Structure 1
Amino acid sequence: MLHTPIDNVRADTPEDWLARHGGETAVLLHCPGALAARHARFRRGFPGAVTYAVKANPDAALIAALVQGGMTAFDVASPAEMALVRGISPQAVLHYHNPVRSRAEIAAGIAAGVASWSVDDMGELDKLVACGVAPDTEIAVRLKLPVAGAAYDFGAKFGAEPDLAQALLARAAAGGFRVSMTFHVGTQCADPDAWTAYMQACAQAARKAGVRLSRLNVGGGFPSGRDGAEPALEPIFAAIAGGVSAFDEAPALVCEPGRALVADAMAYAVRIKARRGAALYLSDGIYGGLSECPSIGMPRVDLVTEGARATAAPRPFALWGPTCDSLDRLPGETLLPGCAGEGDWLLFRSAGAYLVGVTTCFNGYGTYERGEVARLWTDPSRPLG
């Protein structure tokens, strides 16, 4: 276990919780209302089925809350994630969209009743056939394009170029499978045009292959509010709704958000252990709950001192993690109130994705506690999540 049991203390805001808490251990603060609001926003605005990418946060209580809110399908990337979801929602629909699998993993997926498998390589399609994936199962061909707009590109690892995607579609259809397509625009993408470009390319590939897509899975990549502002999801939803006009026959739409569903429902509080001039030494760093910062940049960070948000004039600080590794430094310099010092808290927003399940205990650090708050923002006019 990398975290202590969920704390029974509940509070109105993170500042209230931290004022009661004390101690030095980092705290992951969860706002159930923010999670429910973001889930409802997707279900209300996305023009198709909304599923959840479990890899973003494999916390059982969070998954159970999504199920209670109406989530019925999940993107799973391993047999362990299949078992996790099945233990919470035995009837859930499973999409196994990690496109590289061992034969043992394929067997586990068949046993778990996986409904959709992605492919981006002929050898992987052949492997599914050889392992006994039944005809009439959905095969979703994963496309990749050189589309900009994301914090980093997922196409470097997965996805088929358009010509290969076309060939995979034709072969899957000839094998009796229900053919679909899927893609991932990349992490934290705020540009609706990225989805439009992918949808047009999918329509073209299907047309050239002579197949009708039963579904189009537009993946994840939707932005979260790492800067503290509400992400602009509705323009993306509108672009996706309009994108089906590129198809001769419009496929049913599916999305698989992870970060955008859960990140803004949590904040991560990390204590300052020491100040040395313009450098702050923290109780957690890149080997723990802040592991994403070097790859996609810093989220909004607030200083909480004596249970209140500090408002002193800002200055840039270097932020160092607690381990003895000199790589354990958050990127760049972070503007914080100049009064920051030992015993204060740094509150990292949009912390609900890629912290649970990713945190290590290198050098004996990485432990965190859990708490629940009614609001993640002190401004009552600001919407949840």
Structure 2
Amino acid sequence: MGLTEGHQAKTVWENPAEIVRSLKPENPVMVFAPTVLQDRARAFLAGFPGLVTYAVKSNPDEAVIQNLVQAGIRGFDVASPFEIDLIGRLAPMAARHYHNPVRSRAEIAHAVGAGIKAWSVDSRTELDKLFEQVPPENCEISPRFKLPVLGAAYDFGSKFGATPELAADLLRAVHDRGYIASLTFHPGTQCTDPHAWEQYIRTAAEIAGMAGVQPRRLNVGGGFPSWRVHGVEPDLASIFELIGRTTAEAFGGNAPELVCEPGRGICADAFAIITRVKAVRDGQSVFLNDGVYGGMNELPVIGNLDRIEVLTPEGKLRGENAHGRVVFGPTCDSVDRLPGEISLPDNIQEGDYVVFHGAGAYSVVTNTRFNGFGELRQLTVMGFD
């Protein structure tokens, strides 16, 4: 990149525009704002009426984990032996909830050896595997149930979750074997409608009634939205209020303790991807140096990030985003295309930089390096203004 000695020594930049102006990076850059991450974590801690556990899979970067611990996060949702050990090393005093409901016997043994005390399950066969290896003393098992998805960008119920009737049977079995019996669900990804949680919570109360078991805790999952659309910031306060109120209404005086496991809702807005325009083909379609095989892997499933800025190599805004354009990534694969069209300035040029804000979730971890592309440097900024 031809960095000067002063640039190489700098560790915290003012904003993405300063990075563009000073470094003119040829490869994509993932920009991290720790202050934004900590602010979002504290908003969950202050607003959610229960325990907040961060879903490590969304962004397991060590700097992310360290900043969350500094912000006050004391619980983590872990889905693999790697994540169990990562949190055990970086946050040894934190709670670790192993809520991937399908595990091999070797993975169960690893988790037991690591001291895991909280598990989820969504089938009788998987519950029997837990009964074989997990001691019941002070161990929680939470049957995970599913409903038809409402207001979510992606339906986890197509892969995980028991019917309410099966969940009741599992809850009863967990209780009868002497484990701490709880319940969990996941409303789906990027739920912008607070009511996505309401029917799940009321169904949890029905499951408890069918089982004749009062769950110790109710984990309302993730699904909390990040800010993806320009001018429409998610209303987390309304979601938190509805969760608390619905739980009190559904369970009455025996309401279980609440737990949530946000990933995207905490980490996404603390990152932005700086990409560079490789070509504007005949004044129409745009080719970037990153795409769906790199830091924007999830966009074909979740939809485009609409919070976009286009900067000149001098770090100046190109102007208002106007007409929609087809945008391709750098690989020699026709699948490497962002969905639909993206609104970009009419005067966008080769060598410009396109900054996608809100890109911190499921980006670094899904970078494939396919076709030799995908080199992704991470730099730290004070903020995004």
User: 1:149, 1:194 within 8 Å by CA — same for their partners in 2?
Assistant: yes
Could you tell me which amino acid in structure 1 is paired with residue 274 of structure 2? A
Alignment partner, residue 293 of structure 1: 299
Could you tell me which amino acid in structure 2 is paired with residue 139 of structure 1? I
TM-score (norm 2): 0.94
- Structure 2: gaps of 5 or more residues: 1-7
SS of the equivalent of 1:275 reads strand
Alignment partner, residue 59 of structure 1: 61
Could you tell me which amino acid in structure 1 is paired with residue 134 of structure 2? G
How many residues matched? Answer: 372
Could you tell me which amino acid in structure 2 is paired with residue 373 of structure 1? V
Alignment partner, residue 3 of structure 2: none
Task: Choose the corresponding residue for 2:352, options 344, 347, 354.
Answer: 344
- Provide the C-alpha distance between the structure 1 equivalents of 2:303 and 2:9, rounded to a whole number of angstroms: 29
Task: Choose the corresponding residue for 1:355, options 348, 356, 363.
Answer: 363
Task: Choose the corresponding residue for 1:267, options 272, 277, 302.
Answer: 272
1:155-192 CA distance string (max 9 Å, x none) = 00000001101110111111111110010000000111
Task: Choose the corresponding residue for 2:263, options 258, 261, 283.
Answer: 258
User: 1:7, 1:370 within 8 Å by CA — same for their partners in 2?
Assistant: no
Give runs of aligned pairs for residues 85-104 of structure 1, distance below 5 A.
85-104=87-106
- Provide the C-alpha distance between the structure 2 equivalents of 1:259 and 1:117, rounded to a whole number of angstroms: 21
Alignment partner, residue 111 of structure 1: 113
Q: Does 1:30 align with 2:37?
A: no
User: 1:33, 1:375 within 8 Å by CA — same for their partners in 2?
Assistant: yes
1:6-42 CA distance string (max 9 Å, x none) = 9844322211221111131101111111111101110
Give runs of aligned pairs for residues 138-287 of structure 1, distance below 5 A.
138-228=140-230, 229-244=232-247, 245-248=249-252, 249-276=254-281, 277-287=283-293
User: 1:7, 1:369 within 8 Å by CA — same for their partners in 2?
Assistant: no
1:249-296 CA distance string (max 9 Å, x none) = 110001000000000001001100111121111101100001011001
Task: Choose the corresponding residue for 2:333, options 320, 325, 335.
Answer: 325
- RMSD between superposed Cα atoms in Å: 1.3
1:297-333 CA distance string (max 9 Å, x none) = 0012221112022215622211111111111111111
User: 2:149, 2:157 within 8 Å by CA — same for their partners in 1?
Assistant: no
Alignment partner, residue 72 of structure 2: 70
Report the CA distance between 1:135 and its aligned residue: 4.1
Could you tell me which amino acid in structure 1 is paired with residue 301 of structure 2? S
User: 1:8, 1:371 within 8 Å by CA — same for their partners in 2?
Assistant: no
SS of the equivalent of 2:243 reads helix
- Structure 1: gaps of 5 or more residues: 1-5, 379-385
User: 2:45, 2:73 within 8 Å by CA — same for their partners in 1?
Assistant: no
SS of the equivalent of 1:357 reads helix
Could you tell me which amino acid in structure 1 is paired with residue 315 of structure 2? G
**Structure of higher RCO (CA pairs closer than 8 Å, 6+ residues apart):** 1
Report the CA distance between 1:113 and its aligned residue: 1.0
- Provide the C-alpha distance between the structure 1 equivalents of 2:329 and 2:245, rounded to a whole number of angstroms: 45
Could you tell me which amino acid in structure 2 is paired with residue 327 of structure 1? V
User: 1:145, 1:161 within 8 Å by CA — same for their partners in 2?
Assistant: yes
- Provide the C-alpha distance between the structure 2 equivalents of 1:138 and 1:199, rounded to a whole number of angstroms: 19
